[in-house]
Amino acid sequence: MCAKQSIYAVITGSGSYLPPVVVKNSEFENNIFLNEDGSRIETPGKEITDKFEQITDIIERRMAPEGVVTSDMATYASEEAIAAAGIDQEKLDYIIVAHNLGDMKKGSLYPDILPTLASRVKSKLGIKNPNAVAYDITFGCPGWTQAMIQANYFIKSGDAKKVLVIGADTISRSADPHDRDIMIFADGAAAVILEARESEEPVGMLKHVVRTDTADYLDLLQMGPSYNSEKDGIYLKMLGRKLYNYALTFVPLVAQQCLSKNDMQLQDVKKVLIHQANAKMDEAILKRIYRLYGEKDVDLNVMPMTIRTLGNSSVATVPTLYDLIVKGKLKGHELQSGDNVMMTSVGAGMNINAFMYKMP
C-alpha cells in the first residue's frame, strides 16, 4: 500500500538584485548629525562612523541608482528567479511583492504605491494572463517571510501551483540625513518561485510562527519629522535601544516556538537566515536561542551574514541570503537536499515571524 502524498510548496528558482552603487561609511563623515532635540552632535564624523561600524559591523551598503525604483529592482530579481525555475511566467497564479514605501523616487519623500508594485512588476515582466493575481504586502521588514507564509497557504489549499514571491525596498531613501541611523539602511531586491509538489515526506515550506506586538511596541519603528526642524517631510525613525531589547527578548522565543511546532531541536537546523539590521544584535539573538536549549557553545556559522557589505535592505535581506547561498556566492555556506533552514525576521509593527524550510 502506497504512502499518502501531500502537497508542499517548494522553491524552484531564486534571484536577487544587488544595486551597483556602493556607499562606504566614510561618505557619511561630513554629515551634520543631530540629536532628537535638534542639537548638533559635536563628535567628529570619523569617530561616529568608526563607532557605528563597531556596533553594527556595517562597513558599506548598496543603494539603488538614480532613476531605479523598487518595482524595477523587484522586476530584475524576478526575471532571474523565473529563469532559474525554468517556468512559463504566464502560468503564475500569484505575484506577491513585499515592500514598505513603494516606488519612492530618489529625492522624494512621498511613497508611490498606486497602482500596486505587484501590478507594476507584472506589467514590466510582460505577463498578460489576467489570472495571475498581483498584490502587495506591507509587514515591515518581515514582509517577504510573511508573503512566503501566505503563498504556502495558497499552494497547500490547491488554489495555486506557482507563486512569485518578491521582497524589494529602497529603504535608504526614507532615511533622515541628520539621523545616524541613516547609515544602517540599504536597498535591494530578491525573489523566489514557489511551486506545488506532491511528496510522501514533508519538504519545502513547513510550519511557521507569527506574532504582532502593538500594546507596548507599536512605535519602535515609525515615520516622523527630521531632527532638523527646517526640513519638511517625514522620515523613517526607530528607537534603537528599545528595538534591540524587543528583538533580543522575543525573536529567540519565536524561533523556539517554530522549532517546537515542527517537532525539531536546535541540532536539526542547518542554517538560520535572519533579518540583518545589526550584526551584534543577530549574534546576541543566536546566543539566546542556543541558551534556550542549554547550549553554551554557539556555532556562528549556522547564521550567514551579509550586513557588513550589504547593510539592512529590509524585506530583501532574507531572500537575498537564500539566493546567494544556493548559488554558491556566499563563501563558507551551502545548502543540500534534506537540510532544514529557519527563515526569520523582525520589524515594524512590531512583527516577528519564522518558518522552517526543508531543502528538496
Select the more confidently predicted residue: 324 or 2.
Answer: 324
Question: How far apart, in whole angstroms, are the C-alpha atoms of residue 181 and residue 239?
Answer: 10
- The architecture in CATH of the region 205-358 reads 3-Layer(aba) Sandwich (3.40)
Q: Determine which of 22-26, 69-73, 84-88, 230-234 has the lowest per-residue pLDDT on average.
A: 230-234
pLDDT, tens digit (0-9, with 9 covering 90-100), for 70-106: 999 999 999 999 999 999 999 999 999 999 999 988 8
Going from the C-alpha of 91 to that of each of 167, 185, 195, 208, the distances in angstroms are 20, 35, 11, 27
Q: How many CB atoms lie within 10 A of CB 230?
A: 6
Mean pLDDT, rounded, of the chain: 94
Going from the C-alpha of 289 to that of each of 70, 193, 269, the distances in angstroms are 34, 30, 12
Q: Which of 2.40.240.10, 3.40.630.10, 3.40.47.10, 3.40.50.720 is the CATH number of 7-199?
A: 3.40.47.10
Going from the C-alpha of 324 to that of each of 115, 190, 280, the distances in angstroms are 30, 10, 22
List all residues 6 or more positions away from 42 whose beta carbon is below 8 Å from its beta carbon. none
Burial environment of residue 200 by CB neighbours within 10 A (0 to 12, 13 to 18, 19 or more): exposed
DSSP for 280-334, please give it: HHHHHHHHHHHHHTT--S--GGGS---HHHH-B-GGGHHHHHHHHHHTT-STT--
For 226-262, the three-class secondary structure string (H helix, E strand, C coil) is CCCCCCCCEEEEECHHHHHHHHHHHHHHHHHHHHHHC
pLDDT, tens digit (0-9, with 9 covering 90-100), for 122-180: 999 999 999 999 999 999 999 999 999 999 999 999 999 999 999 999 999 999 999 99
Please check whether residue 237 is in contact with residue 179, taking contact to mean a CB–CB distance below 8 angstroms: yes
Q: Do domains 7-199 and 205-358 have the same CATH topology?
A: yes
100: which DSSP letter?
A: S
**Domain ranges (residues) in the chain:** 7-199, 205-358
Which backbone phi and psi does 293 adopt, to 5 degrees?
A: -105, 15
- Longest CA–CA separation in the chain, Å: 76
pLDDT of residue 113: 87
Task: Give the model's confidence band at 2: pLDDT under 50 very low, under 70 low, under 90 confident, else very high.
Answer: low
| Cell 517546537, located at residue | 260
Question: How far apart, in whole angstroms, are the C-alpha atoms of residue 325 and residue 333?
Answer: 6
Please check whether residue 276 is in contact with residue 315, taking contact to mean a CB–CB distance below 8 angstroms: no
Question: How far apart, in whole angstroms, are the C-alpha atoms of residue 173 and residue 343?
Answer: 26
List all residues 6 or more positions away from 13 whose beta carbon is below 8 Å from its beta carbon. 81, 82, 83, 84, 85, 86, 87, 192, 193
pLDDT of residue 1: 47
For 106-155, the three-class secondary structure string (H helix, E strand, C coil) is CCCCCCECCCCHHHHHHHHHCCCCCCCEEEEECCCCCHHHHHHHHHHHHH
pLDDT, tens digit (0-9, with 9 covering 90-100), for 285-340: 999 999 999 988 899 999 999 999 999 999 999 999 999 999 999 999 999 999 99
pLDDT, tens digit (0-9, with 9 covering 90-100), for 27-53: 999 999 999 889 999 999 899 999 999
In percent, the amount of the chain with pLDDT more than 90 equals 85
Task: Give the model's confidence band at 3: pLDDT under 50 very low, under 70 low, under 90 confident, else very high.
Answer: low
Q: How many CB atoms lie within 10 A of CB 47?
A: 10
Residues forming beta bridges with residue 209, ordered by sequence position: 354
Question: How far apart, in whole angstroms, are the C-alpha atoms of residue 75 and residue 166?
Answer: 9
C-alpha cell at 322: 537564500
